[in-house]
């Protein structure tokens, strides 16, 4: 009986845990919660609003940017631009540097910022729809007619708020409890931001305008595609379309230079996502990209190995020691052959000289007359042509025999001289006696 009770309690606890996990995974923001958090920024111009929404997904970088701005408040706009370009922050965070009040709100009210980013990542289209609901509510209250520095565009049942001056952005301050008229969700009152200084707003004058911010300073433009309910940004690689005053607003919002914004988890810097589904959504993309990069690296490595093997085989074929020996042997053989050929040429030259000397010795004396001299020349030339070429072996044997004969004759003559000298010496000795 005790075992049965134990197993039943275990099953019940498991069911409860599974239901809580399912509730957490399916936990979404209600329309009242979305309206509550979007109330202080829903009437901002579209470009600034999109920057706030994108930057809210990177809360750590917002804190870093706000701290850096406090430390370097004395720098000029040009110096800030040069320093910010070197930081690894998202473009939306860099674009909020000129809007000091907005950046300080996001950094100081960090819990609100993080919830806003989670809602934007969880369901982008639903959040943008909630912004349109609040703008329509402000229109019914008569507040949009009193926005002096903005152009209100009503198109396809959507309300766009655009800056009247292309190079200047005015940030409005308004009381979120008053500007929307009667609030629909009494259980979820709108978020109210207190002004930094004494500012007077009323039903007749619901907006207070701060000094305009010139956005030619490092301003990465983005907009909202209200018809499709998503945020678009300009490609950052197209440098000549970088600034706001260089691009038509509707062209950026409706296509042309723009592309849909995509979240970059690397800029989140370890901040956890609100739901497991959201984390899996962006983590799976990172894993897929990692796999693609891994495959590209492996294929690149294989190509490198093949090229290295081909170069190695060519090197071996060129500088192989066996090939070196064969090359040396062939070089020696060719050198010997050339040496023999040159030796033969020299030997033939010497032989021709000897033959010419021999023929000159055995020639008859020339006659004094020119006619006889010509005839003798012709006869000698004919004899040379008819005379066979001397053989090498025969010529060498003849030379040896001549050398022996001359050596023998010289030996005999030396013997005769020695005998005569002996006789003379004997005669001299006899005479003395």
- Whether 73 and 212 map to the same domain: the answer is yes
426 assigned to some structural domain? no
Q: How far apart are CA 147 and CA 367, in angstroms?
A: 140
The three-state (H, E, C) secondary structure of 127-194, written as one string: HHHHHHHHHHHHHHCCCHHHCCCEEEEEECCEEEEEECCCCEECCEEECCCCCCCCCCCCCCCCCCCC
Does residue 223 contact residue 92 with C-beta atoms inside 8 Å?
no
- Domains of the chain: total: 2
| Domain residue limits at 304 | 275-316
pLDDT tens digits, residue range 374-383? 677 777 777 6
**Is the pLDDT at 276 greater than 80, yes or no?**
yes
- Whether 253 and 292 map to the same domain: the answer is no
- Whether 289 and 154 map to the same domain: the answer is no
**Is the pLDDT at 161 greater than 70, yes or no?**
yes
- Whether 291 and 312 map to the same domain: the answer is yes
187 assigned to some structural domain? yes
Return the biggest CA–CA distance within the chain. 180
- Whether 199 and 309 map to the same domain: the answer is no
Residues 6+ apart with CB under 8 A from 118: 273, 274, 275, 278
HSE of 93, CA atoms in CB hemisphere, 13 A = 27
* Higher per-residue pLDDT: 50 or 18: 50
Alpha helix positions (H), 320-391: 321-362, 370-386
- Whether 145 and 183 map to the same domain: the answer is yes
**DSSP string of 291-303?**
HHHHHHHHHHHHH
Q: How far apart are CA 299 and CA 422, in angstroms?
A: 108
What integer pLDDT is reported at residue 134 of this predicted model? 95
Domain boundary among 239, 272, 305: 272
420 assigned to some structural domain? no
- Whether 172 and 283 map to the same domain: the answer is no
361 assigned to some structural domain? no
Helix, strand, coil % over all residues of the chain, rounded to 5: 60, 10, 30
Percentage of the chain with pLDDT > 90? Answer: 26
**Is the pLDDT at 337 greater than 80, yes or no?**
no
Domain boundary among 217, 238, 272: 272
| CA–CA distances in Å: residue 418 to residues 217, 314, 405, 409, 413 | 127, 80, 20, 14, 9
**Secondary structure of residue 260 in the 3-state scheme:** strand
Closest CA to 273 of 122, 418, 380: 122
The token pair at 68 is 């850096």
**Is the pLDDT at 419 greater than 50, yes or no?**
yes
Percentage of the chain with pLDDT > 70? Answer: 59
Judge if pTM exceeds 0.85.
no
- Whether 123 and 77 map to the same domain: the answer is yes
Does residue 36 contact residue 191 with C-beta atoms inside 8 Å?
yes
**Is the pLDDT at 432 greater than 70, yes or no?**
no
Q: Is residue 132 very low, low, confident or very high in pLDDT (cuts 50, 70, 90)?
A: very high
401 assigned to some structural domain? no
pLDDT tens digits, residue range 217-262? 445 567 888 988 999 887 554 443 343 333 444 444 444 567 888 8
End-to-end C-alpha distance for the chain, whole angstroms: 171
What integer pLDDT is reported at residue 81 of this predicted model? 81
- Whether 74 and 94 map to the same domain: the answer is yes
233 assigned to some structural domain? yes
- Whether 304 and 229 map to the same domain: the answer is no
**DSSP string of 200-234?**
---SSS-EEEPPPEETTSS---EEEETTTTEEEEE
49 assigned to some structural domain? yes
What integer pLDDT is reported at residue 294 of this predicted model? 57
- Whether 164 and 54 map to the same domain: the answer is yes
Closest CA to 118 of 222, 271, 288: 271
325 assigned to some structural domain? no
Residues 6+ apart with CB under 8 A from 102: 48, 52, 96, 171
* Higher per-residue pLDDT: 335 or 377: 377
Domain boundary among 237, 272, 307: 272
Indicate the average pLDDT of the chain. Answer: 75
Closest CA to 244 of 160, 170, 165: 165
DSSP designation for 43: T
Q: How far apart are CA 130 and CA 137, in angstroms?
A: 11
CB atoms within 10 A of CB 282: 17
Does residue 252 contact residue 258 with C-beta atoms inside 8 Å?
yes
**Secondary structure of residue 116 in the 3-state scheme:** helix
- Whether 267 and 295 map to the same domain: the answer is no
Does residue 55 contact residue 90 with C-beta atoms inside 8 Å?
yes
Q: How far apart are CA 267 and CA 285, in angstroms?
A: 15
Q: How far apart are CA 416 and CA 304, in angstroms?
A: 94
Q: Is residue 288 very low, low, confident or very high in pLDDT (cuts 50, 70, 90)?
A: very low
pLDDT tens digits, residue range 189-228? 999 988 877 788 888 888 988 888 877 644 556 788 898 8
Q: Is residue 180 very low, low, confident or very high in pLDDT (cuts 50, 70, 90)?
A: very high
Question: Looking at residues 43-72, what average pLDDT do you find?
Answer: 93
Q: For 233, list phi and psi in degrees, rounded to 5.
A: -135, 155
């Amino acid at each position: 009986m005790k075992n049965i009770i134990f197993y039943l309690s275990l099953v019940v606890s498991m069911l409860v845990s599974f239901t809580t996990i399912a509730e957490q995974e399916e936990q979404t923001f209600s329309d009242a919660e979305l309206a509550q958090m979007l109330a202080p920024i829903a009437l901002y111009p579209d470009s600034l609003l999109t920057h706030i929404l994108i930057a809210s997904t990177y809360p750590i970088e917002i804190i870093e940017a706000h701290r850096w701005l406090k430390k370097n408040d004395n720098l000029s706009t040009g110096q800030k631009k040069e320093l910010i370009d070197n930081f690894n922050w998202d473009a939306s965070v860099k674009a909020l540097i000129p809007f000091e009040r907005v950046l300080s709100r996001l950094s100081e009210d960090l819990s609100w910022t993080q919830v806003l980013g989670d809602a934007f990542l969880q369901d982008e289209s639903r959040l943008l729809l909630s912004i349109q609901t609040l703008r329509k509510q402000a229109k019914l209250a008569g507040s949009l007619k009193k926005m002096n520095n903005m152009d209100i565009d009503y198109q396809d049942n959507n309300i766009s708020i655009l800056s009247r001056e292309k190079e200047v952005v005015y940030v409005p301050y308004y009381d979120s409890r008053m500007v929307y008229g009667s609030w629909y969700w009494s259980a979820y009152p709108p978020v109210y931001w207190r002004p930094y200084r004494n500012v007077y707003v009323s039903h007749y004058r619901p907006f207070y305008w701060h000094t305009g911010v010139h956005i030619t300073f490092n301003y990465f433009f983005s907009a909202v595609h209200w018809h499709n309910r998503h945020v678009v940004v300009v490609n950052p690689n197209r440098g000549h379309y970088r600034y706001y005053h260089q691009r038509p607003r509707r062209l950026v919002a409706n296509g042309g230079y723009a592309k849909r914004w995509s979240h970059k988890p690397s800029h989140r810097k370890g901040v956890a996502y609100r739901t497991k589904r959201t984390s899996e959504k962006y983590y799976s993309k990172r894993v897929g990209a990692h796999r693609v990069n891994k495959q590209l690296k492996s294929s690149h490595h294989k190509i490198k190995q093949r090229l290295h093997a081909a170069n190695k085989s060519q090197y071996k074929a060129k500088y192989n020691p066996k090939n070196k020996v064969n090359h040396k042997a062939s070089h020696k053989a060719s050198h010997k052959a050339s040496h023999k050929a040159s030796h033969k040429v020299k030997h033939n030259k010497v032989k021709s000289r000897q033959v010419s000397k021999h023929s000159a010795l055995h020639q008859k004396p020339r006659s004094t007359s020119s006619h006889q001299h010509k005839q003798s020349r012709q006869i000698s030339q004919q004899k040379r042509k008819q005379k066979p070429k001397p053989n090498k072996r025969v010529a060498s044997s003849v030379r040896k025999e001549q050398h022996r004969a001359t050596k023998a004759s010289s030996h005999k003559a030396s013997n005769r001289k020695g005998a005569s000298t002996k006789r003379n010496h004997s005669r001299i000795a006899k005479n003395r006696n």
